[in-house]
Chains A and B, each alone.
Chain A
């Protein structure tokens, strides 16, 4: 079980590496999918399965789908795949960083201490469920702040890409 959690961590880091090595978005999104699935598995191993499902639904089912649709509209005639030289260079460089991170995190010598976030002492409700419930009741202020932040992000993105035919979001 411990080895599986470590393997999920490795998948997470490799997925991140796949995105950060700057291939074309069509190939980078595979890295995002791998990283988010690994992140969900990690959350499940910690015990918070509800938050993990929320992550999958919102990230893969919402954001990634929208991203794939918009990327498919912006056609790139020669997309950089993972075997192009620039991508390999980035991949080697960042693979080095990832290895150093693992070595310093002790993944090669010491095993990860498994822990869960079940609040056995507080109540019979698990922390992730009760956390969401608190978010909608006592934590209403944070809910409002979070909601405002999301609304703001919408307006920011709309403003940034407004009039794309006239101006430049990506000046080539």
Chain B
């Protein structure tokens, strides 16, 4: 049965990414949602079951909204092409649907609890592979999207992702808030230069996969356990430090590259205020990355 779920995850992602008809995109999203549910609830712990329920309800609502937006667009323009989403109401509904799928503020409430209730590898899949189809849909419809709405959601995501991650001791919740904050960076630039969104996503997926896999090998789920990493695999704690600083976006590490390019593009589009605000709000997430790095590398 696990094979069917893994194949379905790959199938669903591939269907959505390679689609040009809204029905195929929706079918892929639904297959992804269904396939990951048993992976979230594998331990049958009440917290895992609750996480699976929350995930299913929010993602099903978002899929329904995707269908509504595509149908409204088909009603008014007579075609179902994803790149030709021209009706403004459809773009609005689609933006909120994708925000719900990704976990952008104000639709982020499910994300920390779902990540906390799932095993670490499933959490990795939730943060990287499940984000890929919605971002692809945003990429394909990016010329028609409303930049004001996306900028507001992005700034609020960076703010809330940073602020709410500060008081966490559970690593999976910290990673959820880091994901929300990175999604803010991805969303702010999508209407101006969608390729930067994709670059940001690829690099974020790589770095986050590293962190999740590291945490999985040392079986750490909270900060106190993270403090004993140096006894288990000392080089791993060193690389974890570098990866966390890269996630925070510190030069000269790779994580700085998307931030730099995004700030440059925003400034060229006369959005210097937004660029400044999102950079300052990323300082909040820098604090909890530093705290994670400190806990991982301190030798007691």
Interface residues of A, Cβ cutoff 8 Å to B:
142, 145-146, 148-149, 151-153, 155-156, 158-160, 163, 166-171
Given A148-B31, A152-B31, A160 and B8 touching (CB < 8 A)? no
Interface assignment of B11: CB less than 8 Å from any CB of chain A = yes
Interface assignment of B291: CB less than 8 Å from any CB of chain A = no
Task: Give the shortest distance, in Å, between A46 (CB) and chain B (any CB).
Answer: 13
Interface assignment of B219: CB less than 8 Å from any CB of chain A = no
Give the interface segment out of B32-40, B184-192, B210-218.
B32-40
Given A160-B37, A167-B44, A145 and B15 touching (CB < 8 A)? yes
Number of B residues, CB within 8 Å of A? 23
Say whether A149 contacts B41, CB under 8 Å.
no
Which residue of the partner chain, among B11, B23, B46, contacts A168 with CB atoms under 8 Å? B46
Given A142-B23, A145-B27, A169 and B49 touching (CB < 8 A)? yes
Given A142-B24, A145-B24, A152 and B35 touching (CB < 8 A)? yes
Chain B residue contacts of A146, Cβ below 8 A: 27
Chain A residue contacts of B37, Cβ below 8 A: 156, 160
Interface residues of B, Cβ cutoff 8 Å to A:
1, 4-5, 8, 11, 15, 23-24, 27, 30-31, 34-35, 37-38, 41, 43-46, 49-50, 52
In the bound assembly, the distance between CA atoms of A151 and B1 in angstroms comes to 11
Q: Could you list some 18 contacts between A and B, CB below 8 A?
A: A145-B11, A146-B27, A148-B31, A149-B34, A152-B31, A153-B34, A156-B5, A156-B35, A156-B37, A159-B5, A160-B38, A160-B41, A167-B44, A167-B45, A168-B49, A169-B49, A170-B49, A171-B46
Say whether A155 contacts B5, CB under 8 Å.
yes
**Nearest-neighbor residue (CB-CB) of A151 within chain B:** B4
